[in-house]
Amino acid sequence: MDSDYDELMALLESQDGIQRLISYVQNTEQDITVQANVFGLLEEYCEDSLVAEELHSSKVLYFAQFRCLSNAKLIDKVVTRKELGDVNEGLHLPIWRCLAAWANHDLLANSLWANKAELIAHAFALRHSPISTTSLICATIVSMVITLRNKIQGQEELLFCGLVSQDAQEFCGLIKQFYVFGGNAGCSDLIRHLVTYKTEVKAVFNSGLVRLWGKEWINEEKRESEFGPKWVALLLHFIGILHPKRPLLHYGSDMENQWASAFCALGLSPHKFVWMEIVPMISDILGHPQTRRIFLAHAHASGVLSWLLTKRESLTESVRLEFEDAIISQSACNLIELPELPIGLTLSKALEKADSFKEQGNRWFGMGNYTAARHFYRIALSTLKVAEASTLQDLNSPGSSHTFSIGARVKVRCADSSIKFAMVSDDPSNGKVEVIFDESGDDGVVYLHQCSHCLSLKDQAKLEALQISLCMNQAKCLSHLRMLAEAIECLTFGLNLVPEHLPALYLRGLLCLQTMQLKQSKDDFYQANAIAIKLKDKTTQTEIHRAWKKLKVLIAQRKKADKKLVKEMMAYLDTIAIEG
């Protein structure tokens, strides 16, 4: 029997030799030492074309996995092998290769988890071993935790989900050492899946791991590698543990902006073990032009710096000066150049300009600057209003070349002073013109002096769509600024343009609910629900139903004079059918 490692390696050079190696793994009576050695070799050379072909045809990996699942004693034997902890033994590396490979399979990882105490003991004992050993140990632990991440979440009451029995900071120091010498990007995922308590977060910060990964993120290649999203996910996880009730402001969907939001949220933490590590990380960030730009572009960056400057006794003079300079720089960067109202634009140009203002408003809204965003939305609305008035004035001026030709859209002032929109259906004659009214579809003959030109249906639709969108956005800004009455007024303006706009009706109903305008809130929800049913919008119906229940409670607490309104609401609530 070939048991010498060099002899086994020689078998990899031929097809018959590889098949012979595979037979060693498949033989259930084979010596465990030989099997571990062979399995390690096959795992190491599995990407070789000849080896891969034979493995695929024999399905040895699946067979070996199945065998291990049916006989957990194999894992127990491997973990207790003396070679596992002796770097001078020939089987040392092959056995660790086996464990690292097995850790990627669910049930095999379960067997490893059952022996986690022995694995961690070996990890501590071998922490100063050559990198060939420590990298395999790290890969085994990382893969095991990531594979079993859903299972171990049920053991959150234990230290690091039960992986470590004591000394959390020492374990974090071990992971830091493995990362420094091995560079396994999965280490951050390992921490993220294991850490569930503030004491564990504190151990991670005190170990220097967070500062180490913060330095890594500054490197552009690291940011754009798999490390980038893993680092952001870890920061978000820390925030969820330390400050579960604190809202986190995200702006933008790209990773850099999400990192800035998460980092600023941690920077505002009152925990000393957090901000003591954040201070040197910010110094590193400010020292690199690209990361400095990303950080200072965030709306809360100056707040973070100002908060840290209150800890003057913990900051060196150079750091204080650096932070103060950064605040001044950010203030200069965030100066908003407010645009002037453009005059004399055609309607098409005005639509483009207003859309541009809207995009700028959206950017400020995403950054949390609702005052700036509100101004851009407002000037966009004014741009459209001025352009619409100018266009109508040109259409109806005495010297205009526009005539009431067939197909022209007109506004008709009726005898009762009401306004109706219609389309010209015949050429004018004797001071009169025949029209078809939009609302009823009826024909009619009206005097020319009753008619005035209006925008085409296409232009009107574009104008109204952009106006109602701007009204919605501005109302949200006003709501954030606690200017609820103005927000309701803004939505009312938009609903006068588009009376059946579902989101606007729903939002106005919510705002009226907050300001205790319960009658208006009831009417808006009633109308919004009718439109949602018509559009088959089940999601909005569900939201309306929740708001309606809250409205019902508020009205029930009012004076007896509102009993009629309560009965109306109760009756209508029973008619709302929400499907799952």
Distance CA 373, CA 358 (A): 8
Residue type, 487: A
Residue type, 104: N
Distance CA 428, CA 448 (A): 8
**Neighbouring-strand partners of residue 413:** 419
Edge-to-edge strand order for the sheet containing 443-447? 443-447, 432-437, 419-424, 409-413, 451-453
Residue 546 pLDDT greater than 60, yes or no: yes
Distance CA 524, CA 531 (A): 11
- Give the best-scoring range by mean pLDDT among 85-99, 191-205, 510-524, 527-541: 191-205
| pLDDT reported for residue 482 | 80
> Residues 474, 504: one domain?
no
Over residues 335-362, mean pLDDT: 86
| pLDDT reported for residue 155 | 62
Q: For the chain, give the percent of residues with pLDDT over 90.
A: 17
Last residue of a domain, one of 434, 460, 490: 490
Residue 531 placed within a domain: yes
- Residue pair 269/210 in contact (Cβ under 8 Å)? The answer is no
Any idea how long the chain is? 580
| pLDDT reported for residue 576 | 42
Cα–Cα distances in angstroms (integers) from residue 130 to residues 103, 133, 139, 178, 559, in the given order:
21, 6, 14, 11, 79
* Residue 32 C-beta-side C-alpha neighbours within 13 Å: 16
Cα–Cα distances in angstroms (integers) from residue 475 to residues 102, 305, 497, 515, in the given order:
56, 31, 15, 14
322-336, 527-541, 556-570: segment of lowest average pLDDT: 556-570
| pLDDT reported for residue 32 | 59
> Residues 277, 358: one domain?
no
Residue 447 pLDDT greater than 60, yes or no: yes
Number of domains in the chain: 3
> Residues 320, 419: one domain?
no
Backbone angles phi, psi at 419, to 5 degrees: -110, 130
* Alpha-carbon torsion, ordered 571, 575, 577, 578, to 10 deg: -40
- In the structure, what pLDDT confidence band is assigned to residue 210 with cuts at 50, 70 and 90? very high
- Coil, helix or strand for 447? strand
Over residues 13-22, mean pLDDT: 82
**Neighbouring-strand partners of residue 453:** 410
Residue 308 placed within a domain: yes
Over residues 345-367, mean pLDDT: 88
| CB-based contacts of 178, cutoff 8 Å, min separation 6 | 123, 127, 134, 135, 137, 138, 184, 187
> Residues 290, 237: one domain?
yes
- Residue pair 109/144 in contact (Cβ under 8 Å)? The answer is yes
What one-character DSSP code corresponds to residue 412?
E
**Neighbouring-strand partners of residue 411:** 421, 452
- Coil, helix or strand for 57? helix
Q: What is the CATH number of the domain that holds 381?
A: 2.30.30.140
Residue 161 placed within a domain: no
| pLDDT reported for residue 276 | 93
- Give the best-scoring range by mean pLDDT among 7-21, 138-152, 404-418, 441-455: 138-152
Residue 231 pLDDT greater than 70, yes or no: yes
Distance CA 324, CA 318 (A): 10
- Residue pair 268/304 in contact (Cβ under 8 Å)? The answer is yes
* DSSP sequence for 461-477: HHHHHHHHHHHHHHHHH
Backbone angles phi, psi at 252, to 5 degrees: 85, 155
Domain span holding position 292: 210-335
Distance CA 355, CA 351 (A): 6
**What is the per-residue pLDDT across 329-338, written as a single tens digit (0 to 9) for each?**
777 656 677 7
- In the structure, what pLDDT confidence band is assigned to residue 65 with cuts at 50, 70 and 90? very low
Q: Over the chain, what is the mean pLDDT? A: 81
- Coil, helix or strand for 220? helix
Last residue of a domain, one of 310, 335, 360: 335
| pLDDT reported for residue 577 | 41
* pTM for the full predicted model: 0.53
| pLDDT reported for residue 560 | 47
| pLDDT reported for residue 1 | 39
> Residues 224, 315: one domain?
yes
| pLDDT reported for residue 579 | 38
| pLDDT reported for residue 205 | 94
> Residues 362, 478: one domain?
yes
* Residue 220 C-beta-side C-alpha neighbours within 13 Å: 6
- Residue pair 171/164 in contact (Cβ under 8 Å)? The answer is yes
| pLDDT reported for residue 183 | 81
Last residue of a domain, one of 445, 462, 490: 490
H/E run at residue 507: helix 502-514
114-118, 245-249, 447-451: segment of lowest average pLDDT: 245-249
Residue 347 placed within a domain: yes
204-213, 274-283, 390-399, 531-540: segment of lowest average pLDDT: 390-399
- In the structure, what pLDDT confidence band is assigned to residue 278 with cuts at 50, 70 and 90? very high
Scanning 126-219, the segments in alpha helix (DSSP H) are 131-147, 149-152, 168-182, 187-194, 198-206, 209-218
**What is the per-residue pLDDT across 142-195, written as a single tens digit (0 to 9) for each?**
999 998 888 876 565 678 888 887 788 899 999 999 998 888 888 989 999 899
Distance CA 198, CA 20 (A): 53
For the stretch 36-65, what's the b/e string if a residue is b when 16 or more beta carbons lie within 10 angstroms of its beta carbon? bbbbbbbbbbeeeeebeebbeebebbeebb
- Residue pair 371/483 in contact (Cβ under 8 Å)? The answer is no
Q: For the chain, give the percent of residues with pLDDT over 70.
A: 85
Residue 547 placed within a domain: yes
- The residue assigned the tokens 């710096």 is 305
Distance CA 347, CA 390 (A): 9
Higher pLDDT, 442 or 315: 315
Residue type, 361: G
- Evaluated on CA atoms 315, 319, 321, 325, the torsion sign reads negative
> Residues 288, 350: one domain?
no
Distance CA 57, CA 208 (A): 48
5-9, 141-145, 418-422: segment of lowest average pLDDT: 5-9
> Residues 308, 259: one domain?
yes
- Residue pair 179/187 in contact (Cβ under 8 Å)? The answer is yes
Residue 579 placed within a domain: yes
Distance CA 396, CA 368 (A): 43
| pLDDT reported for residue 421 | 82
Cα–Cα distances in angstroms (integers) from residue 173 to residues 126, 156, 170, 494, 501, in the given order:
14, 21, 5, 59, 58
- Give the best-scoring range by mean pLDDT among 4-13, 214-223, 488-497: 488-497
> Residues 214, 323: one domain?
yes
Residue 71 pLDDT greater than 50, yes or no: no
Residue 60 pLDDT greater than 60, yes or no: no
Residue 25 pLDDT greater than 80, yes or no: no
> Residues 346, 308: one domain?
no
- Give the best-scoring range by mean pLDDT among 97-101, 154-158, 203-207, 476-480: 203-207
Over residues 535-540, mean pLDDT: 81
Residue 131 placed within a domain: no
Over residues 416-443, mean pLDDT: 80
Distance CA 374, CA 389 (A): 23
Residue 235 pLDDT greater than 80, yes or no: yes
> Residues 271, 413: one domain?
no
Residue 451 placed within a domain: yes
> Residues 485, 344: one domain?
yes
- Residue pair 448/464 in contact (Cβ under 8 Å)? The answer is no
| pLDDT reported for residue 396 | 78
What one-character DSSP code corresponds to residue 429?
B
54-63, 87-96, 217-226, 539-548: segment of lowest average pLDDT: 54-63
Distance CA 553, CA 447 (A): 55
Q: Specify the pairing of strand 419-424 against strand 432-437.
A: antiparallel
Over residues 243-271, mean pLDDT: 79
223-227, 247-251, 438-442: segment of lowest average pLDDT: 247-251
Higher pLDDT, 472 or 571: 472
- The residue assigned the tokens 């170990």 is 207
- In the structure, what pLDDT confidence band is assigned to residue 63 with cuts at 50, 70 and 90? very low
- In the structure, what pLDDT confidence band is assigned to residue 558 with cuts at 50, 70 and 90? low
